[in-house]
Amino acid sequence: MTKFLKLNRTGDKIPLVGFGTARITPEDTADIIYTAIKSGYRLIDAALSYGNEAQVGEGIKKAIDDGIVKREELFVISKLWNHFHSKDNVKSAFDVTLENFGLDYIDLYLIHFPFATEFVDPRSTKLTFFNDENKFALKRIPIHETWKAMENLVDLGLVRNIGLSNFNVQSILDLLTYARITPAILEIEFHPYLLQERLITWVKSQGIEVIAYASFGNTVFEEVPPTTAHLPNLLTHPTVTKIAQKHGRNNGQVLLTFATQQNIVVIPKSIQESRMKSNLDLFSYKLDADDIKELKALNANARFNDFFPNTYGFDLPIFE
Ligand SMILES: NC(=O)c1ccc[n+]([C@@H]2O[C@H](COP(=O)([O-])OP(=O)(O)OC[C@H]3O[C@@H](n4cnc5c(N)ncnc54)[C@H](OP(=O)(O)O)[C@@H]3O)[C@@H](O)[C@H]2O)c1
**Pairing mode of beta strands 43-45, 75-80:** parallel
Q: What is the pLDDT of residue 1?
A: 61
Domains in the chain: boundaries = 4-296
Closest CA to 16 of 185, 145, 242: 185
Tell me how far the alpha carbon of residue 248 lies from the centroid of ligand 1, in angstroms. Answer: 22
Tell me how far the alpha carbon of residue 220 lies from the centroid of ligand 1, in angstroms. Answer: 7
User: Phi/psi zone of residue 255: left (φ > 0), alpha (ψ -120 to 50 degrees), beta?
Assistant: alpha
Q: pLDDT tens-digit profile of 264-311?
A: 999 999 999 999 999 999 999 999 999 999 999 999 999 999 999 999
Give the CA angle between residues 125, 131, 132 to the nearest 5°: 65
Q: In this structure, which residue's CA is closest to atom 26 in ligand 1? A: 270
d(CA 32, CA 17): 16
* Residue pair 78/106 in contact by the 8 Å Cβ criterion: yes
Pocket of ligand 1, beta carbon within 6 A = 20-23, 45, 112, 165-166, 187, 213-216, 219-220, 235, 250, 252, 267-272, 275, 278-279, 305
Q: What is the pLDDT of residue 2?
A: 74
Q: In this structure, which residue's CA is closest to atom 10 in ligand 1? A: 213
CA dihedral in degrees (16, 264, 108, 76; nearest 10)?
-30
Tell me how far the alpha carbon of residue 58 lies from the centroid of ligand 1, in angstroms. Answer: 21
Q: What is the pLDDT of residue 125?
A: 78
Q: How many residues does the chain have?
A: 320
Question: Per the annotation, does 237 bind a ligand?
Answer: no
Tell me how far the alpha carbon of residue 176 lies from the centroid of ligand 1, in angstroms. Answer: 30
Ligand 1 atom showing the smallest separation from residue 269 Cα: 19
Task: Name the residue type at position 129.
Answer: F
Tell me how far the alpha carbon of residue 153 lies from the centroid of ligand 1, in angstroms. Answer: 29
Q: Which of 34, 41, 50, 193 is catalytic?
A: 50
Ligand 1 atom showing the smallest separation from residue 113 Cα: 3
Q: Where are the alpha helices (DSSP H) in the chain?
A: 26-39, 53-65, 87-101, 143-155, 169-178, 197-205, 238-247, 251-260, 273-280, 289-296
Closest CA to 311 of 208, 232, 222: 222
Q: What is the pLDDT of residue 126?
A: 86
Ligand 1 atom showing the smallest separation from residue 215 Cα: 20
One pLDDT digit (tens) per residue for the chain, 320 residues: 679 999 999 999 999 999 999 999 999 999 999 999 999 999 999 999 999 999 999 999 999 999 999 999 999 999 999 999 999 999 999 999 999 999 999 999 999 999 999 999 999 878 999 999 999 999 999 999 999 999 999 999 999 999 999 999 999 999 999 999 999 999 999 999 999 999 999 999 999 999 999 999 999 999 999 999 999 999 999 999 999 999 999 999 999 999 999 999 999 999 999 999 999 999 999 999 999 999 999 999 999 999 999 999 999 999 99
> 4-296 maps to which CATH number?
3.20.20.100
Ligand 1 atom showing the smallest separation from residue 166 Cα: 3
Q: What is the pLDDT of residue 200?
A: 98
Give yes or no: 50 in active site: yes
Q: What is the pLDDT of residue 176?
A: 98
Would the CA dihedral through 37, 42, 43, 46 be positive or negative? positive
Which one of 270, 272, 276, 318 would you pick to mutate in the ligand 1 pocket, going by the greatest count of ligand atoms within 8 A of its CB?
A: 270
CB atoms within 10 A of CB 90: 23
